[in-house]
Chains A and B, each alone.
Chain A
């Protein structure tokens, strides 16, 4: 059994509050994977991951472990970071009147962790919102209520969104297989 070091925790009022360093180490991969699904670009996901942890450090004092896990809180910060990125990209596209990414097209090999090519293509073809719900519910295996809180929607809406996203994946993969 791993012994928790005293320096890792700061016990206050019967609630174990982890240190930021331990939280970052523990959830880095999850946050990164979430952002990969959201942005469909490893390079962008890496930049946003770093930015997410910078923001999280600045806002660390606001984190209350009684209201949710550190991973959920980090996912919310990551989502906010990604949305700011998308807004900036939209403004840039409007200014330059050019797409930053080819919607139909090429996806980095193994972007989504070594999935089958059909699944990788199908995932890439989904919108960021659809990939996001798959990342939260399937990849990170968050509870329905937790995922809904991150997305800012109801549990029912979250379930519906996931169901539709999975159905789209299924259809695209079926079409790919048939082709």
Chain B
């Protein structure tokens, strides 16, 4: 027999026929015939997964946008503001309700009561008292002089003055310090200079700091007294005496520092700071544009879409390692399955 080659082997294999036996043919025909007529033929309802993704992704995006818009519309109905307000133009700011002048009858110390009542300082406690007043006045010069005179009358002093006037408008900024016991009355008198455009009062209790400083001072005095008593001892050596004297000097120096700090703090808390802003015209302000309902809805919808995007990014970032691990695991299982099949076929 001649040496076989690939071509002859392939030709021989191809020419061979392996036919199913009549019994096998009968069995397979019976199996095929048992198929219900309604189920013959593949289902056309199964969508390829690629087409499914192309449909699902836009559908999910549309649902997310619809939800954002619905929430935006529903939450925009309670927004304030009127469309009649000028857009982006300088406009006169007329207060909706004129602020009430400070009243001397208020007894609500530190109560945070409404804007028409001055807050008196609390007696017996160290407090940092600051007030700001913005007044519209007719005569800038007269009002400024009057404010300065009032400050003097209350035994206060002027910290700074800035004065400027032109052909159409003028303004003056004064920072004055008045005794805290008189601040309520002072604010009432300042308010009477013109129409109140704005006012602000701030009170900060600093008594704990004062108490702490007092304790430090007392401790320092005790230390000084103790060192002085030790120095009177006749049994001290020269070195010990020198050391004690050095410590005494340092302690006295420290006492002076603490006393100065305490004095400064007392000055600070014994006077209230009042900032007066006097002007002949209303301050020109840019009125913020109040968007209408649709604008608010779109804005809110945009915020929700941004939140949804953040959640999606978060899920992707947090889930990405798991997705990768899952893909690697699936791939590994597939490779393992294939190798087992090959091993099976190699040994069968």
Chain A residues with a Cβ under 8 A of chain B: 10, 12-13, 17, 19-21, 24-25, 28-29, 32-33, 36, 38-39, 46, 49-50, 53-54, 57, 60-65, 83, 86-87, 89-90, 112-116, 118-119, 127-129, 132, 134, 138-139, 141, 152-153, 166-167, 169-170, 173-174, 177
Q: Are B9 and A128 within 8 A (Cβ)?
A: no
User: Could you tell me the distance between the alpha carbons of A43 and B130 in the complex, rounded to whole angstroms?
Assistant: 105
Chain A residues, CB < 8 A from B342: 129
Please indicate the chain A residues that have their CB under 8 angstroms from the CB of B348 in the complex.
Answer: 39, 86, 89, 127-128
A61-B43 CB under 8 A given contacts A20-B32, A128-B345, A129-B346: yes
Contact across chains for B3 and A60 when beta carbons are under 8 A apart: no
Residue in A112, A119, A128 whose CB lies within 8 Å of B346: A128
Does B6 lie within 8 Å of A57, measured CB to CB?
no
Decide yes or no: A53 and B346 within 8 Å by CB, A13-B44, A29-B19, A115-B16 being known contacts: no
**B100, chain A: closest CB distance, angstroms:** 81
Cβ B9 vs Cβ A129 within 8 A: no
Bound CA–CA A114/B31 (angstroms): 29
> Are B31 and A50 in touch, CB under 8 angstroms?
yes
Is the CB of B149 closer than 8 A to any CB of chain A? no
- Given contacts A17-B42, A29-B19, A173-B9, whether A53 and B345 have CB atoms under 8 Å apart is no
Q: A10-B41, A50-B27 are in contact. Are A173 and B345 (CB under 8 A)?
A: no
Kindly provide the distance from the CB of A16 to the nearest chain B CB, expressed in whole angstroms: 10
What are 25 A-B pairs with beta-carbon distances under 8 A?
A: A10-B40, A10-B41, A20-B40, A24-B31, A32-B18, A32-B19, A33-B18, A53-B28, A62-B42, A64-B46, A90-B344, A112-B16, A112-B18, A113-B16, A113-B17, A113-B18, A115-B16, A118-B4, A129-B346, A139-B13, A139-B14, A139-B18, A166-B9, A170-B4, A174-B4
Query: How far is B28's CA from A151's CA once the two chains are assembled, in angstroms?
Result: 24
Q: A119-B9, A169-B9, A173-B9 are in contact. Are A83 and B344 (CB under 8 A)?
A: yes
Q: How far is the CA of A115 from the CA of B4 in the complex (A)?
A: 13
Most A CB contacts (10 A, CB to CB) among B10, B18, B25, B347 go to: B18
Q: Indicate whether A65 sits within 8 Å of B6 (C-beta atoms), given known contacts A29-B18, A86-B345.
A: no
Given contacts A29-B19, A83-B344, A174-B4, are A46 and B14 in contact (CB under 8 A)? no
Contact B14 A138 (CB under 8 A): yes
Q: A32-B24, A127-B346 are in contact. List 20 more A-B contacts (CB 8 A).
A: A12-B41, A21-B29, A24-B28, A46-B20, A46-B21, A49-B20, A50-B28, A54-B31, A60-B35, A64-B42, A90-B347, A112-B13, A112-B18, A119-B4, A127-B348, A128-B344, A134-B13, A139-B13, A170-B6, A173-B9
Q: Which residues of A contact B35 (CB under 8 A)?
A: 20-21, 57, 60
- How many Å from the CB of A94 to the closest CB on chain B? 12
**B33, A21: Cβ atoms closer than 8 Å:** yes
Secondary structure at the B interface, as helix, strand, loop or mixed, is: helix
| Most A Cβ at <10 Å: residue of B19, B27, B42 | B42
State in angstroms the CA–CA spacing of A24 and B28 once bound together.
Answer: 7
Partner of A46, one of B24, B43, B44: B24
B162 CB–A CB distance under 8 Å: no
Question: Complex: how many Å from CA A86 to CA B343?
Answer: 11
Q: Does B60 contact A (CB under 8 A)?
A: no
Q: Does B341 contact A (CB under 8 A)?
A: yes
- Closest chain-A Cβ to B1's Cβ sits at a distance in Å of 5
Q: Are B10 and A166 in contact (CB under 8 A)?
A: yes
Q: Which residues of B contact A127 (CB under 8 A)?
A: 345-348
Please state if B344 and A53 are interface contacts (CB–CB under 8 Å).
no
Q: Are A24 and B346 in contact (CB under 8 A)?
A: no
Report B72-87 CB contacts with A as 1/0, cut-off 8 Å: 0000000000000000
Minimum CB–CB distance from A19 to chain B (whole Å) comes to: 5
Q: Taking CB as reference atom, which chain B residue is nearest A111?
A: B18
Give A112 to B15 CA distance when docked, in angstroms: 11
Chain B residues contacting A12 (CB-CB under 8 Å) are: 41, 44
Give min CB distance, A69 to chain B, whole Å: 13
Known contacts A166-B6, A174-B3, A25 near B46 by CB under 8 Å: no
**A86 to B9, alpha carbons, bound, how many Å?**
27
Q: How far is the CA of A50 from the CA of B34 in the complex (A)?
A: 13
CA distance A86 to B344 in the complex (A): 7
Q: Does B338 contact A (CB under 8 A)?
A: yes
Are B5 and A170 in contact, CB atoms less than 8 angstroms apart?
A: yes
Report the bound CA distance from A160 to B345 in whole Å. 16
CB of A95 to closest CB in B, whole Å? 16
Provide the residues of chain B in CB contact with A17, threshold 8 Å.
41-42
For the complex, give the distance between the alpha carbons of A115 and B18 in Å: 10
B232: interface (CB < 8 Å):
no
Name the B residues within 8 Å of A65 (CB-CB): 42
Residues of B within 8 A of A64 (CB): 42, 46
